[in-house]
Chains A and B, each alone.
Chain A
Amino acid sequence: MASGPSLPPRSPAALGGGLLLAALALAVALGPLLAPDPAAIDLMARLLPPSAAHPLGTDELGRDVLARVLAGGRVSLTVAAATAVLAAALGSAIGLAAGYFGGGLDAVLMRVTDGVMALPLLPLLIVLAAVDPAKLGLSPAVTGGEAFAIGRVVVIIALVGWTTVARLVRAATLSVRTRDYVRAAVAVGAGPGRIVLRHILPNVASPLVVAATLSVGNIILVESALSFLGLGVQPPMASWGNMLTGAMDQAASAPLLALWPGLAIFLTVLGFNLVGEALQAWLNPRLARDL
């Protein structure tokens, strides 16, 4: 790390992943212009094969599948990005506190982190997703909207997804804490809050960014699995996961319906994993070499 990061490596895998994500982002962003209304039901045009009017055909309610895949992508990517940011924020706060203050706080926080890591992820997420917001004292006015439905999935996944970031940030903080510029800041009389935010956080940013990028793929997989089980993003809002639930019921009559949302999930996750690995190799070469 003496010379700092050089130019990003031009590996075909990284390039492929980047192009994949760029194409996807563009398609999803332009979705409303490219395709018809994803919610428009046309019972006269149910389960149509692909045609000029419906490039990927229509589903069991006559909705355009391409439009639904693009709309589902907006939801899935929004959830994934928000979750990655929230989980990274939670993990950094815990990792910074544990690494900087050390001692008993460090021991407690790291035991909790180990404990959460040891939990069976998917069963626990199902329990969390099954919690009734009404029993938490939230009124139906708050819990009714789309924003709450998405926010709920984000919070649930972030609650169990912060551990990797916390460990990485703690390790990086431990090595930065004893550097001269931190000691100088202490000597000048800077408070812990200022030291952590101004001097330590910028220097642990690269493992943080890599870990967050690498987590996006997993978050998309977990969200789609939850939505597939009917516990994540709920219909009529489209998400790649819940589109597959509907497609499973039509498997015998319209097998192609199940192809597209899954392919979208696969390519998106692949893109994030390839780009994350390339970032890893570029920003943390030592870590990348060993994995």
Chain B
Amino acid sequence: MTRRILVRLLQSVAVLLAMSFVVYALMGLMPGDPIDLMIAGNPHLGPADAARLKALYGLDRPWAERWLLWLVQVAQGHLGYSRLYAKPVAAVLGPAVLATLELMGTALAGALLLGLPLGLRAAARPGSLFDRAANLLAFASVSLPTFWLGLMLILLFAVRLGWLPAGGMAQVGGGGAFDRLAHLALPAATLTVASLGQYIRHMRAAMLAEARQDYVRTARAKGCSPRRIALGHQLPNALLPVVTLVALDLGGLVSGALITETVFAWPGMGRLIADAVMGNDFNLALTGLLLATGMTLAGSILADLAYAGLDPRVRGE
């Protein structure tokens, strides 16, 4: 198992390197030039100065070489400055990661607390009215465009009823705990509804897969009650694939909230990456994307570890 994790770690580093190479190349293909943007506000600087600055910053060299130089700098902890925020990239990314974790953590908890019991109950009687209703709900949830759901919630609860704020993380100057909760409610609800469906379906499918196992038949033959079979025997085994899927989702959470964060002006990672790409903030976009990729990869390694931790058959290998 240790060997397997090591291999996965090495693979992840390879993916990250490849990703940084590709993204670095793509950044060069975006409109706008870092030096032109830098001198745009100063009428005293001409083309000669631009060329001089390009040489100074190494921008006249081939991009493969620039990528290597960038890599060396990153290895030493120099992530560069953000053009949009006029701060070091790390100082901009830190609070954004926290904001995203707050939003996504709440949404994930909500989706699990609602989705798993619904899936469990649906699997108890396949084909029943409850099962069909849960299935339809799951389909509706995975088919909803999150940004539209967010817009509708804003229109209803912020514009029409005026109960909750439409965006941001706190009122200007920062509010109390209640104010922060009020700001969290709509974006978290949007993401909860959007990710609810997959957990209903995963939980239901895992329970039904376990229902075909021999040990369930044995328990039934012994006269075990259906409730006890479901909760005491099937559920622990059925949670295995579900936990793995949750761990897999964890990494994607950071970038998954991009649209919701944009709609609700939530100052998280996803919105930061989108703003950085559209605002020609090359340093911030590059680091943000790699951080998001890294977290996705970490999530999949975590899924492996969780699986091994829960399943003695895998641990023994």
Q: Does A174 contact B (CB under 8 A)?
A: no
Q: Does A259 contact B (CB under 8 A)?
A: yes
Q: Are A123 and B151 in contact (CB under 8 A)?
A: no
Q: Are B31 and A265 in contact (CB under 8 A)?
A: no
Q: Does B142 contact A (CB under 8 A)?
A: yes
When chains A and B are docked, how far (Å) is the Cα of A248 from the Cα of B14?
41
How near does chain B come to A104, taking the closest CB pair, in angstroms?
A: 16
Q: Are B155 and A122 in contact (CB under 8 A)?
A: no
Chain A proximity mask over B81-118: 1 for CB below 8 Å, otherwise 0:
00000000000000000000000000000000000000
Q: Does A195 contact B (CB under 8 A)?
A: no
Neighbour of B288 across the interface among A123, A132, A274, CB < 8 A: A123
Q: Are A244 and B205 in contact (CB under 8 A)?
A: no
Q: Does B238 contact A (CB under 8 A)?
A: no
For A225, list chain B residues within 8 Å (CB).
145-147, 259
Known contacts A244-B148, A273-B139, A274-B139; A124 and B289 CB within 8 A of each other: yes
Considering only CB atoms, which chain B residue lies closest to A267 in the complex? B143
- Stretch from A28-36, A55-63, A112-120 that touches the partner: A112-120
**Is the interface on chain A under 10, 10 to 19, 20 to 34, or 35 or more residues?**
35 or more
Q: Are A262 and B145 in contact (CB under 8 A)?
A: yes
Q: Are A217 and B159 in contact (CB under 8 A)?
A: no
Q: Does A169 contact B (CB under 8 A)?
A: no
Q: Are B29 and A118 in contact (CB under 8 A)?
A: no
Chain A proximity mask over B14-41: 1 for CB below 8 Å, otherwise 0:
1100110001001111110000000000
For A259, list chain B residues within 8 Å (CB).
152
Q: Does A205 contact B (CB under 8 A)?
A: no
Interface residues of B in 249-281 (CB under 8 A from A): 252, 254-256, 258-259, 262-263, 270, 273-274, 277-278
Known contacts A136-B29, A266-B148; A122 and B270 CB within 8 A of each other: yes
Known contacts A13-B135, A122-B258, A123-B273; A130 and B151 CB within 8 A of each other: no
**Is the interface on chain B under 10, 10 to 19, 20 to 34, or 35 or more residues?**
35 or more
Q: Does B69 contact A (CB under 8 A)?
A: no
Neighbour of A118 across the interface among B132, B254, B273, B297, CB < 8 A: B297
Q: Are B155 and A126 in contact (CB under 8 A)?
A: no
Neighbour of B255 across the interface among A122, A230, A251, CB < 8 A: A122
When chains A and B are docked, how far (Å) is the Cα of A289 from the Cα of B205?
8
Neighbour of A126 across the interface among B146, B152, B274, B293, CB < 8 A: B274
Considering only CB atoms, which chain B residue lies closest to A132 in the complex? B31
Q: Does A75 contact B (CB under 8 A)?
A: no
Considering only CB atoms, which chain B residue lies closest to A247 in the complex? B151
When chains A and B are docked, how far (Å) is the Cα of A272 from the Cα of B272?
32
B interface residue numbers (CB < 8 A to A)? 11-12, 14-15, 18-19, 23, 26-31, 132, 135-136, 139-140, 142-149, 151-152, 154-155, 159-160, 201, 205, 208-209, 252, 254-256, 258-259, 262-263, 270, 273-274, 277-278, 285, 288-289, 292-293, 296-297, 300
Q: Which 6 A-B pairs have the closest CB atoms?
A: A262-B148, A120-B255, A270-B143, A269-B143, A132-B31, A120-B292
